[in-house]
Amino acid sequence: MIDFVIAQVQNLEDAASVEAQTLDSVILGEQFYFFTVVLMWLIHAGFMTYEAGVVRRKNVMATAMKNILTIAVVTPSFYYFGWWIYNCNQPGLPIGPNSTDFTAVACQGGIPWSDAFGPNLTNNINLIFFLAFLLFSWTTASIMSGALLERVRLSAYLVLAVLLGSAVWILDAAWGWSAGGWLTLRFGFHDSIASGVVHGVAGAFTLGVLFNLGPRIGKYTREGLARQFRPQNLHGTLLGLMLIFTGFYAFYGACLVISSTAFPGWANIYLSPTTLGSISMVITFGFAGGFTGGYFAARGDPFWTVSGGLAGVIGVSAGADVYAPSVAYLLSAATAALAVYAGNWIEKKMRVDDVVGAVAVHGFSGFLGMLWVGIFAAGYPTGLNNVDSSIGGQLMGMATFLPLGFLSGWVSSLILKKLNLLRVPPEVELEGLDVAEYEEDLYMPESAKLGEMMVEPDGSLVPAEGVLREAEREVVR
Amino acid sequence: MALLIDSSPDCIISKEGATPADDSVDFILQARYEDCAGIMTFGPGSTYGDEGAAADTGYYIVTWLGITFMVVTLIMWMAYENRQLIGHVGRIRGRDGGPPPQPGGVGGEV
């Protein structure tokens, strides 16, 4: 009996040792990121549901398949070069694993043939942290996906998704969303939960693509007034957004660095201290303010009310590690309201056909979120050099990310357009992508009898067939 | 010793009659793994930070095969879809009495 008690005491002493604590904290971190990865799948399920709901019935399956196949192309490309871009390009120029730069150790874990980039008994974190970033990459590519619906080719989208999801966003993340990024080290750039790094850049990239892709047939009258296509399932769209919102909590959590043996146990991506509760409060108040701002700015429109929640959260993400809840509430309401106006301006004045308002909700709100930090979260030491966050640093980040995102999207889509590989033929667009891509109408024939309807600029509901036939003749002949 | 192909790293050693390590709680690191950190197939079998950029030839081959497969599938995706769309537009135009699409294109862009 006495031997048993002594053994138990010895076990307790062993468990309390520094080595055991360190191992425990590593495994705790591994588990934490694992569950954020699982929950972030909801974002992707949400994007699919959301986009499949917002399109017309004839494009549902093509839309859903586009979302699913994002995973098929972004996953390997992010593994083969995305993680290298993040880990080996933080100083601004590529470095090697033998560089004297302090990010060289991270760089070792980012090259595909590193022994830390596969099953390794002494490294629990690299793979699971990679997976968290991979889910960010899926999200970034999916942001673009919704804007291009109903006329982009699947293969063109997949090429653009690889470029955005595995190269463009992760390059700006290396520069401005890492402890060793040059924007952070030199300018104190602060974007803790990726307002601009993910959303802003994805929105800018998308805008560049939309300029080359052009609007859907029949979207605008000859006078340039915007028509509205009726979504085939608005409930699905709203459900999709709710799934995205749920997954966003995991996205937020995965943006933190967990370090249970160091006070206070959590740090933002720049390794500055914060807590999980802090960012959770901000995201929750961001939704509250965003819904409110969206509702009033859009006069109760359901689509923009719920999208306002997303815009609101994106607007406060950059400073989510330090914002007071009231600041988050007010800023998110303002961001959402401004995003509604921006969305309407983009559609009606710029005549850019962004099916889900991604440029406004993600791009505009993301850049606004970066700006808010320069005003409402200035003076916080950021990055390993402890440079204070400031309006100048934020503007430097914005001035870097805007051309990076926009030009890469515009140039790549222009090349695809010149090769006649960007957009489906007008006949296919009119008939619906499902029939062309999957060779059958996947819905019950009875539902087709309802016919396709659309809303004219004066608000009248009309059968779409005549309008679209006339618009097609202008395009084809 | 594996029968025909040994795709495990060299750090996994052969020990006759190897049993779990003395401490029964240490159930993962069994005797044949005790010198090993990176255990992935075709991997170098080194410890993290030690020659992390190096790999066995087999692992380079596997990696480059993966990269090649990824690039080829993207190109095939574009070619396959283009052919599919050309065929479908041809059917639509044939049905509607319009001219069939010419090779290399499927009608004007908007």
Residue A218: closest C-alpha in chain B: B110
Q: Which residues of B touch A437 (CB under 8 A)?
A: 81, 84
A228 has pLDDT over 80: yes
Q: Given an 8 Å threshold on Cβ–Cβ distance, is A115 in contact with B45?
A: yes
Burial (0-12, 13-18, 19+ Cβ within 10 Å), A89: buried
**Per-residue pLDDT tens over the stretch A320-378:** 999 999 999 999 999 999 999 999 999 999 999 999 999 999 999 999 999 999 999 99
Residues in Cβ contact with A140 at an 8 Å cutoff, skipping those fewer than 6 apart: A164, A165, A169, A198, A201, A202
pLDDT tens across A392-433, in order?
A: 999 999 999 999 999 999 999 999 999 999 999 999 999 889
pLDDT exceeds cutoff 90 at A443: no
Q: Does A114 touch chain B (CB under 8 A)?
A: yes
Q: Using an 8 Å Cβ cutoff, are A97 and A117 in contact?
A: no
Task: State how far the Cα of A54 lies from the Cα of A50, in Å rounded to an integer.
Answer: 6
| Structural domain spans, chain A | 21-426
Supply A333's token pair. Answer: 């309401």
Mean model confidence pLDDT for chain B: 71
- Whole-number Å distance between alpha carbons of B78 and A187: 42
Mean pLDDT of A434-460: 70
Show the tokens assigned to A349: 């004045």
Contact call for B77 and A476, based on CB within 8 A:
no
Which region among A25-34, A423-432, A433-442 has the lowest average model confidence (pLDDT)?
A433-442
Backbone angles phi, psi at A114, to 5 degrees: -70, 145
ipTM of predicted assembly, 2 dp: 0.83
CATH 1.10.3430.10: does it fit domain A21-426?
yes
Q: How far apart are CA A65 and CA A155, in angstroms?
A: 11
pTM: 0.88
Residue A103 reports pLDDT greater than 70? no
Q: Is there a cis peptide before residue A264, judged by omega within 30 degrees of 0?
A: yes
Among residues A312, A270, A280, the alpha carbon closest in space to that of A295 is found at A312
pLDDT tier for residue B49 given thresholds of 50, 70 and 90: very low
Q: How far away is chain B from the Cα of A100, in angstroms, using its nearest Cα?
A: 14
Mean of the per-residue pLDDT values of chain A: 89
The span from the CA of A409 to the CA of A422, in Å, is 12
Kindly tell me if the per-residue pLDDT of A293 is higher than 80.
Answer: yes
- pLDDT for A388: 93
Q: Does A97 contact chain B (CB < 8 Å)?
A: yes
More confident residue, B35 or A219: A219
Model confidence at A469: pLDDT above 80: no
B98 pLDDT band, cuts 50/70/90, is: low
For residue B56, the chain A residue with the least C-alpha distance is: A113
Say if the Cβ atoms of B48 and A116 lie within 8 Å: yes
First to last CA, chain B: 63
* Chain pair A-B, CB pairs under 8 angstroms: 134
**pLDDT beyond 80 at A208:** yes
- Interface test with chain B among A78, A427, A434, A472, by most B beta carbons within 10 Å: A427
What per-residue confidence (pLDDT) applies to B105? 47
Q: For residue B21, what pLDDT is reported?
A: 55
Q: What is the DSSP letter of B102?
A: P
Mean pLDDT of A205-214: 97
Nearest-Cα distance to chain B for A113, in Å, is 6
Higher pLDDT, B60 or B20: B60
What pLDDT sits at residue B16?
58
Are B88 and A436 within 8 A, CB to CB?
yes
Percent of chain A at pLDDT exceeding 70: 90
Mean pLDDT of A57-82: 94
Position A463 scores a pLDDT of 79
Nearest to A120 among B48, B106, B107 (CB): B48
What's the per-residue H, E or C state across A88-105? HCCCCCCCCCCCCCCCHH
| Mean pLDDT calculated for residue range B19-48 | 64
Most confident of A237-241, A292-296, A462-466: A292-296
More confident residue, B32 or A112: A112
Per-residue pLDDT reduced to its tens digit, A107-155: 777 888 777 788 888 888 889 999 999 999 999 999 999 999 999 999 9
Nearest by CB: B74 against A122, A159, A437: A159
